[in-house]
Structure 1
């Protein structure tokens, strides 16, 4: 396959029924910390927050984190509730501080987020374009507003916004007309953002989840990786966001997957079987994880692009119908480059 045919193939993927899944790779590309950097930060600061009892458990976890990484360590040793609270607090604040730096640049119009550029090329159905992200940050929401779109997160209100899916959807209704006996609803173009792992602006208030965009001393509602992750995922609002994400996956005609490693139990029960059933899938990532590579090798419906050094230059490794081709000098795996080369030629 030559480069022209490859680009034509990729362009045709952006059609009806597309569900986009965004992992930490895209946030890291914008400058947010990944798991390795978060682990280093926790190693440096978290002891200051712990009681002697929890410090003893951290002493067990700390060498495991250094040896295996944060996710693997928390899968091996479940933290106590107090230690988990401290991990959530330090992780959330670390990401929020870095996010603030990016947001200031976007606000000053000195930076355009990659996802803002991408949204111009996604179809927006009347029901909203479904975006599923395992990230805690708000860059998807910010990117959508910068693209002139509404953002439906199922929360209603600016201060302590409540989780109300029905009211949130109606908030985007712009016109209701009656044609004969049929009622027609016209909605603002929007994205529906589903965040099964939580968000930096989710908190608890009076026993229920709320959304507040500022920083509070109250614990953020985010799920850390590890043994407690699956249990916590069945609490509100994680459960509703997970259900909506899985419903979108089940109805998808095709997938666009950006910077996601296929290591999440909450999504994999639906996503991987759908891909294996033959749903066309385009995967963009700096490096394919072992789980992603297994799908690429077994599923001819998966087109995957990752970073590669080709002939001594920075290029891309592209898998089409389980066969690998090398593309020199073009970073097609990187979203900005992909948009420039494929969607805005």
Structure 2
């Protein structure tokens, strides 16, 4: 039997002007900490001074869960952290990811080809597209840096400048634009002393009386995302997913309730094409896409080496081993360009 034509399928799906969904795997490729490294950082670096007895007990329970190899998200769901303890965890999370994010920005100043996403966006804008939507669960600003390197305007829900305030999409006018919908917040978002959300550019430390606006896993995640600006950002992300002709998922594990429902309804009910490229397909991805009822999919993961890929396609029930790297974004670009 002839192998299915996965390059043609990739090009057909790409030709429909996909919404891009970026998960933690997209950032892990640059050294941004995943859940395991973040968990270790929290245990070792979270400031617990001055907590009351109940908060110290909760913190001890949380650390014990992590020491027992419970994953970070599950551990945060199993304890009920106070507002103060949650704020300490958020601050510690921000410190680690912001440090790593800044290192990548510094590296990008020396390497104009650091981000394959820059090339992807430039290529997409060679069509009639005027707007590209990126939906991401990541706090880091790698998508923003990729836009800057390609001289493409991006919009994350705020005005431009150093002290940025919330703005409707209609306020920011440009001939072409990438909307970056950050459903769990961003390193540069803060709650100000006025209790509104602002975005501060090039901040190395959290300013006095400002709180990072990033949503960490755990029970407070659901409460937080019902508030602004998360509610509007998630609504805009939903709209972008609803209107997309196809989806391109980069390092996305299919584990987020803010993105999943709209995505799966479109793939299952409306047969919207979906392409997944990732280091390793998560169990959730396999269950929802490969073992589910999705009818138009192309999923590519790394094989035994960086130069081997395993391709799963709705065109064939059997996966295909390919002796080249098409599982990374850089490798995928060779399929579509």
TM-score, length-scaled by structure 2: 0.90
Q: 1:254 to 1:128 in 2, by over 3 A?
A: same
* Distance change in 2, residues 1:29/1:201 (3 Å): same
8 Å CA contact 1:22–1:258 kept in 2: the answer is: yes
Aligned partners of 1:156 and 1:39: how far apart in 2?
34
Unaligned 5+ runs, structure 2: none
**Given the alignment of the two structures, is residue 129 of structure 1 paired with residue 123 of structure 2, yes or no?**
no
Matched residues in 2 for 1:110 and 1:154: separation? 26
Question: Greater share of strand residues, 1 or 2?
Answer: 1
1:50, distance to aligned residue in structure 2 (A)? 5.5
Q: For residues 126 and 15 of structure 1, do their structure 2 counterparts lie closer, same or farther at Cα, with a shift above 3 Å needed?
A: closer
Structure 1 unaligned segments of length 5 or more: list them: 173-186
Describe the shift of the 1:241–1:197 C-alpha distance in structure 2 as closer, same or farther (beyond 3 A): same
- Partners of 2:172 and 2:46 lie apart in 1 by 41
Question: Alpha carbons of 1:48 and 1:80: their partners in 2 closer, same or farther (altered >3 Å)?
Answer: closer
- Correspondence for 2:158: 155
Does 2:320 align with 1:332? Answer: no
The alignment status of 1:36 with 2:36, answered yes or no, reads: yes
Structure 1 residues 9 and 269, CA gap change in structure 2 (3 angstroms): closer
In 2 relative to 1, CA 2–152 (structure 1 residues): closer, same or farther, beyond 3 Å? farther
Corresponding residue for 2:247? 255
- Tell me if structure 2 keeps the 8 A contact 1:33–1:95: yes
Deviation at 1:327, TM superposition (A): 2.4
For 2:150 and 2:128, how far apart are their aligned partners in 1? 16
Match in the other structure for 2:6:
6
- Any conservation in 2 of the 1:121–1:343 contact (CA below 8 Å)? no
- Mapped pair 1:242 → 2:234: yes
1:110–1:146 CA distance, 2 compared to 1 (3 A): closer
Distance 1:333 1:71 in 2: 26
1:140 aligns with 143
Inter-partner Cα distance in structure 2 for 1:317 and 1:323:
13
Q: Which is bigger in relative contact order (C-alpha 8 A, separation at least 6)?
A: 2
After superposition, give the CA deviation of every residue in 1:193-249 in whole Å (9 maximum; x if it has no partner).
Answer: 101100000011211111101132322100001111111101111111100001111
Q: Secondary structure at the match of 1:266?
A: coil
**Alpha-carbon shift at residue 265 of structure 1 (Å):** 1.2
Q: CA deviation at 1:343?
A: 3.0
The 5 A counterparts of 1:220-239 are 220-239=212-231
- Say whether residues 1:200 and 2:187 are aligned partners: yes
Confirm or deny: 8 A CA contact 1:315 1:326 kept in the other structure. no
Distance 2:259 2:92 in 1: 25
Pairwise CA RMSD: 2.1
- 1:96 aligns with 98
Instruction: Report how many aligned residue pairs link the two structures.
Output: 325
